[in-house]
A and B are shown apart, each in its own frame.
Chain A
Amino acid sequence: MGVLSAHVIGEIRALPAQFPEVRSAVMPALDLAQEELGYLTPEAMSEVAEALNLDPGYVEGVATFYTLFHTEPIGKHRLYLCTNISCKLRGADALLEHAMQTVGVRDQGQVSSDGLFSVEAVECLGACEYAPMMRLDHAYHYDLTPEKIDSLIAERKRPLPAAAQAAKAAAGEDQPPPRVAKPRAARKKKADA
C-alpha cells in the first residue's frame, strides 16, 4: 500500500499520453502528488517514478530543482511574499517581518504551530503594478498592508461556528496534532558555491 491513492496513481499513469515523451509528465505528476500529500515525501517521489516507469533519482532531481515543489512539510496556507526590487521599494521587507510575526514563525519555511501557515519570501511574481503583493492559496493579493495581511490570516483561522464545534466535540473529534517542521535555511539555495 503506497502513500498515493489509487485514484492519483491512475491519473498519473494517464499523463504521458498528452506528451510526445514520457518525461514531460513528471512535473504534472508531481503536482498531483503534492496536491494530495501537501508536500513530496521520498516515498511519493518513488511512487511517481514507478507509475511513469522512470528512475526515482530522476524524479527527485526534477522535484528539487523547482521552487514550487516542496520536499519538506509546509503550512496548509502558504504566504509567498514577493520581496524583489519593485515590491521592496514599496515596503515588502517590513510586510514579510509582519507576516512572520503574525503567524508566529521565526524562519521562512517554518510551519506555524497550528499547522495552518508558512511564510516565504519569493522572487518577482510578475504583478509589479500592484506592489507590494503576494500569492496565497493559488491567488494573488495586491497593494498589501499589515492590516490586509492580518485579515487574510484571520479569515483562514476563524474558528468554526459554535454549533459546528459542539457537534464535533460530541462526535469525539479532536483537532489534528500540529505538524512539526524543522526550521531550515532562510533561502532555498539551488546552487551553492
Chain B
Amino acid sequence: MPELRGTTRGPVLTRWFGTENLHRIDVYERLGGYAAARKALTTMTHDQIVQEIKDSGLRGRGGADFSTGVKWSLMPKESPVPMYLVVNADESEPGSAKDRYLMENSPHMLLEGICIAAYAIRSHQAWIYIRGEYDLPFARLTEAISEMRAKGYVGDRPFDSDWPLDIRIFRGHGAYICGEEGALLESLEGKRAQPRAWKPPYPAQKGAWGRPTTVNNVETISTVPFIVGEGAAAYAKFGTEKAKGTRMFTVSGNVQRPGNYEMEIGKPYRELIEGMAGGPPPGRKIKAWWPGGSSSPVMPGDLLDVTTDLDGVKDLANLKGHPVPPVNAGGRAFATMGGSGGVIVMDDRFCAVEAAHRLLQFYAHESCGKCTPCRVGGNWAVRTYERILSGEGGAQDIAILEQVYAALQSGRCLCGLGDAAGWVIASSLTHFRSEYEEHALRNECSAKQAAAHA
C-alpha cells in the first residue's frame, strides 16, 4: 500500500482513515462499520431512508450536484422486472483521484453504502462499474465482497433481514466517456460506450438492460453510511445554508502536498490549495487553476477566494473584474464549476497555451465519435493548437479557436464532453489571451522565457 496522501481522521468520509487495515471487515466493524446498514435493513422502511438522505442535503459527488434523495425517489415503488443500483467508479476526469482513494482505503464504506442504497431504492442487485486500470481498488473490493459474503452481509438474508442482496463488479476497459451515465450503461450492457439519446427516459425509468436503475458516484454512496448511522442532521451541520456536508477534493499539479482532502463545503479554495496542499513550490506563483477537473473552466491564479459551494462557484461575481469567459451550460453563463473536485494547480513556469493543447488532445482522443461537433471539433482544435505552438499560426488561428469553442457548446452534443472541450478553449483563451497572441503572432512564449531566467 502506498503512503496515504490526503485527509485522515476527517469529519465524515475519512473519519477512520489512517487506521491500519481499515480495508479489512473486522477492523471496519470494530470502528462501528455496518451498524448503519444493519439499522437500515432491519429497522427502517425504504422511504424512511430516502427521506433521511433528502433531509441530509446530500448531492451527487460525481460532478452533477443533483439531490441524491430526489434521484432515489424517482425509482418506481413496484416493478415487474429487476431494478438496479449502479455505482459509477469509472473516475477518469483528469485531476480527480478521490474515488480511488476512498475505494482502496475503505472499500467497506462503499459496500455498506451500497447495501443501504440498494435497499432504499428497492433493488436486490448492485453493480460497481470500475475503470479497468484501477487494479488495487478492484482487488480490495473483490476481497471485501468475499468478506461480506462470509458474514452473510450479501446473500439471502443480509443482517438477518428478508432483503436478498447481491453486489457484482464490472470492469471498464479504458474510456473516459464511460463516466457519463448513459455511456456507462451502454458499456455495462456490453456495447461501445456512447451516450444515450435525449432524456427522458431517465435511468430510473429505463436504465441498465432497459430496467429501472439508479446510477450514483462512489463518493456519494460512501457518504450514505454516515448519514444513516449518525442522522441527517449530523451531516447537514457541515456546509452552508444550501450546500450541505463535506466533500473530497484531489489537489494535484504544482503544489507542495498533493493529496485527497476532505473539506467542509463552502470554505474557499484558498484554504484547500494554500492551506491543506501547501501552496505552490517555494518561489513560484499560481498562474492558473482548475477547480473541478480539466473540464471546469480554468481560473486565473489570483482568484483563490472562490467558495467550494458548487452553486457559489459558478457566480460570475467570482471573476472580480477579470473578463467573463464565453462559456455556457444549458445556455446559462457561469464563471467556472466545482465538478468532481479535482483541483489542478499550475504555476508560473508553465505555458497556458501548451496546457490547453494537452487538454484538447485528451478531449479529441476520448470523444466517442457519436456527435459531430465533438468528433470533429476536438481534432480541429488540436490541429489549430499545433499550428499556434509550432510558430506557424496567425490571427486566423485564434479566430478558428473562437469558432470551435462556440460550436462545441450550447447543448449541441448528447453529453457534456463536447461542451467541456469548448469550455477548455474558451476559458483559456479569455484568461490568457496575451499568451495565445505571443505564440500565434510573434512565435514567442513568455512563460518559457521567464522559466529559463528563473
Contact = CB atoms under 8 A, between A and B. Distances in A.
B97 interface: yes
A66 B174 contact: yes
B99 A191 contact: no
Interface in A86-108: 86, 88-90
Contacts of A23: 189-191
B254 A27 contact: no
Interface in B235-272: 250-254, 258-260
B67 interface: no
B209 A126 contact: no
B253 A130 contact: no
Contacts of B294: 84-85, 124
Contacts, number: 167
A138 to B, nearest CB: 5
Contacts of B258: 86, 128-131
Q: Which secondary structure characterizes the binding site on chain B?
A: mixed
B149 to A, nearest CB: 15
A127 interface: yes
A183 B96 CA distance: 32
A62 interface: yes
Interface stretch (B129-137, B226-234, B300-308, B434-442): B129-137
A91 B294 CA distance: 18
B365 A129 contact: no
A86 B260 CA distance: 14
B380 interface: yes
Interface of B: 2, 5-6, 82, 91-97, 99-101, 131-136, 168, 170-176, 187-193, 208-209, 211, 250-254, 258-260, 290, 294, 342, 344-347, 350, 355, 358-359, 361-362, 364-369, 375-376, 378-380
Which A-B residue pairs are the 3 nearest by beta carbons? Answer: A67-B174, A23-B190, A128-B252
Interface of A: 18-28, 31, 61-62, 65-69, 80, 83-86, 88-90, 122-131, 135, 138-140, 142, 187-193
Given A128-B97, A129-B6, 7 more contacts: A20-B209, A24-B170, A66-B175, A69-B173, A126-B133, A128-B344, A135-B135
26 contacts: A20-B208, A20-B211, A24-B170, A31-B173, A66-B132, A83-B358, A89-B252, A89-B253, A89-B346, A124-B92, A126-B134, A128-B96, A128-B252, A128-B344, A129-B252, A129-B258, A130-B2, A135-B135, A187-B361, A189-B365, A190-B365, A191-B369, A191-B379, A193-B376, A193-B379, A193-B380
